[in-house]
Structures are given as structure tokens and as C-alpha cells.
Amino acid sequence: MTTNSTHNVAQGNAYVGVQAGFIAGGVHNHHHAPPDPRFSPQGDFEAGVRYLDRFLLDTARKHIERAVARGYPITSRVQFYRLVALLSGRTPRQLEAEEWRRLLAIWGDPPDLDERDEWTLGLRAILRLLNSDDTATPEAATKELESLPPHQQAYIFNHLDGLLEGASRNGMWAKSVAQSQQQRTAHDRLGRAWKFFHPTPIPPRTRTVAPAAIAMSDRLKLGIGGALFLLGTGKLTMLLAAHGDFGGLFGLYGAAAGLAAFGVGGADRHFRHRRRRAKDSELRPPRWQHAEARPSGFAGKIDRLFNRYFAHYLPKGMASAQWLAETAGIRRYLRNEVVDAYREERVDAERVAWLVRYLASDVRNRWSRGTLTAYRQELRVPLSSWLQQIAGAITLTTGLVWTASATFSAAFLPGTLWLTLAVAAAVTLTRAAYRIVAEQRRVIADNAHRAAEQARRQEAYDRWVAKLADKPSDAEMAAWLECDRKVITDRALRQFRLQPNQVVAHAFLEAPASSARKRRADDGPWRYTHYRLLLFLLTEDGVRQIDLELDFRRAAQHDTQRLNYRFHAMSAVRVDGLALRKPTFHLTLNSGETITVQVTGTDTEPAAPNKDPSPVTELTIDASGLRQTLHVLEGVAAEGKDWVRLRREQADDLLAELARRTSGLLD
């Protein structure tokens, strides 16, 4: 089946990148970290169980063994989880000498075994798996496992399907794969998995309304102009009254009333024209090219979000380029509003994405309904304002002519002086009053618009929060991914025409695909929307390798490369770049082909201030399978086919020793 030369179905070098956050230290970190002061021994143990549920095996072993070392009481439940964590996902041949010593030590001092205790039943089942041989019938092994309580049965099927030998192993594997096929899309994975990659949205904000900006010159003009107008009007009143010209007085006060009517109508018209120009400017494309924001900064990320969502939410029948060109003005206006509203805090731009998406769809919907420029109709000067201003102008002009005639007849020189002063003051204060009233009404209108917009955004926010309410937990994501691994492994076994009991060892290497989005829970590793997966299957006569891509949200995968090679075809395995916190795994074949797996620091979400990124790195490396892959392939590269023989002999000897020590526990 396998030749001496390397067979490559997809020609060319294979490259996979694993993104794992900032890395502190090397990947061979098997020491027990100092106890976290936040954890009691019990807390340490329960944390280990939670990590085990998420298939973060190295981290789970560390917590569980540390809890035992700190004096946590050893019970059948504790021993059950110790064994599951130690043996999970591996065959006995993959255990190191230190792990064998730990396994023998666990069974060397077993707790009191109560036949009525469900954890005791689980312990006995694990021991029977370890003591199984090629002669065991698959029916007997499966029947015994199915008699276990559901909790223990699930742990054994999910974690320990590699312990059996011969036909029993094949039967248990078939059942485990069947369960994984069913559970792979359980709990509405296809409808919920995408939600994990959306962060908790930040509540909506709107642009703060600028306070009324009234120029000091306008305040002075209004005050001084008003005073001079009253002075001029008063002097004219005294002058006309002294001469008994009541017709002139009637004209004077008629002119004042006309001025008031003209001013009220004119102020409304002035505000509406000014408001419309301001609203038009929001839609008008910028006249000059703005400096590009730094791509890695908050503003740069918001720019990309606006471009992405405006290109996505298009009116029917309109091309993306045309829509982006037509909405350049409002897009820039809304972008500036979002940046100004959120940039003063340390906010992840993705948490604002829901708002950008809402704004883009809202602009599209208003354009489609023809309401994007509805403000123009709302700000049209009403007929009442026109009539008021026209009537005021007629009354003002008539009264002014009547007053001037009476004044010139009564006292030409002083009358002309006071009339000129009153007219000039009226013009000055009216213009200043227009600007002041317009600014005050602008604040009122902006506040009303802000309140309405805030209410609409709050509704959109509430809808989005409700939609994300059933976001899957990290444990669910891990369970789905483990089901993917089993289904993919089974598919690979069928492609290579292998039985599970022919596999000496296997290893998965997980990496984000180039188009992947990533997100993590507070205490979990990075999870990706798209994975690059490398699966290594080691048999007696060589290595089978498959490189594939997994669309996690859709639970769909496709192969990109297949390799077959004998053990001696492996030239070297190494990891470098540790000092730069960018470990790179290299597997070199004698044919000269190199498979490179780069473990890089995260570049999309830096660690928070005063927060060590190492735990995230360790969890991500744990989830990636890098350590197990490196361990297996290093052994094969160093010892060749002897690695299989030596591991088999070691496992057989130690399993015999285990059977001798535990001979009385299964009676």
C-alpha cells in the first residue's frame, strides 16, 4: 500500500498557520504551574474537569494533578477524572514513561470501591478497557459500556475509544463515530455556531448635541441694536406726540408690528433654509480626500466596517460601486459619528459592528422608500410663514412711509435722525435675531432627532442582543469540534482503507484558515470560523496524512492534500522561533518537501493592560494539538519504524504489570 517514495496527491509544499496569541515560553511546558491563589484544591480540580469537557487536555491534567498534589481527597470520582484526563485521545502506545508511572500510581492506591457508586462502575470500565486484548469480542465490550450510567458512558466514548485492541476497538470506534455523526450538528449548531464569533455588542450611542454656538458679536448686536431701536422709537413717539400727530403715531406702531411679524416669519424661513443646507451637507460627498485612518486603529477598523456593510446592503438592482459612490457623504458623516461616540474608550470595533450594520441597512431602506431626503419636505417653508413675512413687510413699509411723512412735517432734522437710528437698529437686531433664533432652534431640533435616533438604535440593539441570547458556550464549541475530528478521522480511515485497530497513533494539528474569523470565551482558547486541519495516522508500515479545510459554522470540510510516506522518509522534525514568540513547526521529508506549521502571536486582539497573554497562548496551543503532534512525529523521526516496535513492547509490558497489580479489582 505504501511505497518507499513519497506520494503527494496535491503537489506543492503544504503551509499551515496556527494563530495562538502572544506566546511566552516554549511548547514543551509540562511542569506544574504554581497554584493560583484564586483556586482552592477543590476549585483547581473542578477547573480541570471543565477544561476536560472542552478537550483542553494538557490544561485539564495540570489542574487535576495539581489539586491532588495540594491534598484534595482522592475518591472514585477524582480517580475517574484523573484517568480520563491522562488517557484521553491516545492509545497506550502514545503514553510517555512518566505518564505510565502516574497511571500505575493511580491504580496502586485505589480509593474504597463501592459497587453502588457510579464512579466506581466507571473506574472498573476503564480498567477493563486497559486490560482488554485482541480476543475480546466487540459485543461484550460494547454491552458493558452501555450498562454504565450516561455520564460515565459519555466520557469513555468521547475520550477513551483508543484503549481497546482488535475487533473490540473497531466496534467501539464505529459506535463512537455514529454518536459523533448525530451530535455533530446537535443543539442547532448550524443556526447557533456563527453567534459565538460575534462579541457582546456595546449599547448604542448617538452624537452629542453641540450647545448653541451664539457669537458674541450677535449678542452685542441684539442688545445694542434693541436698545437703540427702543431709543429711536421712543424719541419718535415723543416727537409726534408733542405735535399731536396721532396719525404718525399709528403709522409708527403699525411699522413696529409689521417688523415683528416680518421678523417671526423671516426667522422661521431662515432656520429652515439653514437646517436644510446642514442636512444636505450630510449627504454631499466630501470635497477633498480625507487622510486614511491607521488600519490597525479604531477609526481604520470602523472604516472597513462601513465599507463592508454598505457594500452588502444594496438597493435592489444597484451595483455596489454605484451605491458606495452615491452614499459617500452620509457614509462619512455616520462613520465620523460612530468614531466620535466610541473612540474615547478602549472599545473593540467588532462590538460596534452591529450598529454599523444597522446604519447601513437603515440608509438602504430609507433610500428604497424614498425617505432618505424626506427632511427636505419637512423643512419647506410653510405658507403661513410666507404670508406672515409678506404681510409684515407690507405693514412695515406702509407704516414706515406714514411715519416718515409725519416726522418730516413735525421736525425734519431731529425726526430724520431718530428715524434713521431706529431703522438701522431694526435691521441690525433683526439679522442678529435670525441667527440666534436659528441656533437655538437647531439645538431643539438636534435633541429631538437624537432622542428619536437613540430610540431606533436601542430597538435594533435589543433585537441583536435577543438574537445572540443563545450563543453557544466554549464547551459546546469544543464538543462540536471533537465530533468533527472523529468524523474526519473516520473518513480518512475509509479513504486509506484502514481499520481503527491498525492505527498505532494519531495526531491532529489545527490552524486557522486564511479567511477565518476568530473569537474566544473569557477562559478559553481561540476558536475559528474556518480551520486548516492536518491529520497524521501512524500505522505499522508508515504515515498517512491528510490536509483539509473545515468550515466550522456549516460543519463541512474538503480535502486539500493527501500524503503517504514510510517512517524512514521523514528527515527531520523541529520547532524554531521560540525566542521571537512565533514557534514554527517543520516536518521535512527526504524528498525535500517541507510541511510548515507556524504558530504566530495574535494580531487582532492584543492583551489588555496589565494582563499576561500567556494563559491564552497556552490554551490555544493546547487546543491546536501541537504538543501531541510534535511528540509523536519527533519520536518517529528519531527512531523510525523502531518507534512503533519499542512503543508496542513498552505498552505490552506495562499493561501486563497493570493487570498484575489490579487483578483483584475486577473479581
Which residue blocks in 196-319 are alpha helix, DSSP H? Answer: 216-242, 246-283, 298-312
Q: Using an 8 Å Cβ cutoff, are 504 and 644 in contact?
A: yes
Which residues of the chain have a pLDDT value below 50?
1-34, 37, 600-604, 606-610
Is 359 within a domain? no
Q: Which stretch of DSSP H or E encloses residue 585?
A: strand 584-589
pTM reported for the whole predicted model: 0.80
What pLDDT is recorded for position 96? 84
Cell 408733542, located at residue: 242
CB of 508 closer than 8 Å to CB of 629: yes
Please check whether residue 617 lies inside any domain of the structure.
yes
In the numeric block, which cell numbers belong to residue 524? Answer: 478559553
In this prediction, residue 572 carries a pLDDT of 82
Q: State the sign of the Cα–Cα–Cα–Cα dihedral 376, 382, 388, 394.
A: positive
Same domain, residue pair 408 and 492: no
pLDDT of residue 599: 58
pLDDT at 602: 44
Phi, psi of 510 (to 5 degrees): -105, 140
* Boundary (domain end) residue, out of 466, 482, 498: 466
Largest CA distance in the chain: 136
Question: How many residues comprise the chain?
Answer: 667
Q: Give the side-chain half-sphere CA count within 13 A for 60.
A: 20
122 with 182, same domain? yes
* Torsion sign over Cα 96, 101, 106, 110: positive
Q: Residue 291's pLDDT is what?
A: 60
Angle 24-609-621 (CA atoms, 0-180°, nearest 5)?
30
Q: How far apart are CA 450 and CA 458, in angstroms?
A: 12
Domain termination residue (choose one: 466, 484, 506): 466
Counted domains in the chain: 2
Q: Do 417 and 520 share a domain, yes or no?
A: no
Q: How many whole angstroms separate alpha carbon 5 and alpha carbon 210?
A: 75
Cα separation, 395 vs 400, in Å, equals 8
- What is the identity of the amino acid at 58? D
- Pair 73, 133 in one domain: yes
* CB under 8 A, 24+ apart: contacts of 645-650: 647/93, 647/94, 647/504, 647/505, 648/93, 648/504, 650/93, 650/97, 650/100
576, 512: one domain:
yes
Q: Are residues 481 and 617 in the same domain?
A: yes
Q: Residue 667 has what pLDDT?
A: 56
Q: What is the pLDDT of residue 493?
A: 93
Give the whole-angstrom CA distance, residue 593 versus residue 138.
Answer: 41
Q: Which three cell numbers stand for residue 142?
A: 460494547
In a domain, 415, yes or no: yes
pLDDT of residue 583: 63
* Residue 9 counted as domain residue: no
Question: Hey, how many other C-beta atoms are within 10 angstroms of the C-beta on 244?
Answer: 10
| Residue 304 within any structural domain of the chain | no
Inside any domain, residue 582? yes
Q: Which domain holds residue 436?
A: 216-283+404-466
Q: CA-CA distance, 395 to 250, in Å (whole number)? A: 12
* 571 SS3 class: strand
The answer to whether position 346 is within a domain reads no
Please indicate, yes or no, if residue 508 is contained in any of the structural domains.
yes
Q: What local confidence, expressed as pLDDT, does residue 107 receive? A: 81
Q: Are residues 491 and 445 in the same domain?
A: no
Residue-wise DSSP of 393-442? HHHHHHHHHHHHHHHHHH-HHHHHHHHHHHHHHHHHHHHHHHHHHHHHHH
